[in-house]
Amino acid sequence: MNDNKAVEIWLRMYEGQHVHARHHEVLRTQSTNLIVLISAALLALSGSQTGHLDGSIIGAFIIVVNLYGLLMSLKHYERSRLHASVGAEYRNVISDNTAIGGQHLDNIRTMAHQSHKPMLGIQKLRAFVLWVGLHILLLLIGLFLAFA
């Protein structure tokens, strides 16, 4: 097998992992949107005068739904990171075996990351913390409703 064919195979394997990682991020987004929608509807129901359900029942359901959403979000994050890590290893192989103009892919990527870091100063804030934080906030609102 020639080198170009080998790099092509590694590239396809990398792309497959990237697609799987993105798929889990999309699933996390969709499931979180559904949980937030359900929680918002329940909060609206608890605030309406026509609701006949006790606030503690609504609060308990919000708690359960957001615990589930929290776990689902973390699981999709874990799966996304798995595929990203495997893809990164494939990318390293591609970078080690190809150079354009004497530059390896990982060198260019590292330089781009370094130039991006000072942009907003929030590069250390992990996106999954914000996703998880949303479920925790809604869970706390549910606790307040259940025990207020």
SS3 of the chain: helix, strand, coil, percent, to 5? 80, 0, 15
- pLDDT at 51 (0 to 100): 62
Containing domain of residue 37, as a range?
A: 3-118+125-147
**Number of domains into which the chain is organized:** 1
CA torsion sign, 121 to 126 to 127 to 133? negative
Predicted TM-score (pTM) of this structure: 0.84
Specify whether the backbone of 138 is left (phi greater than 0), alpha (psi in -120 to 50) or beta: alpha
- The per-residue pLDDT string of the chain (148 residues; one tens digit each, 9 = 90 and over) reads 677 888 899 999 999 999 999 999 999 999 999 999 999 999 999 888 666 778 899 999 999 999 999 999 999 999 999 999 999 999 999 888 887 788 887 888 888 888 877 777 787 888 889 999 999 999 999 999 999 8
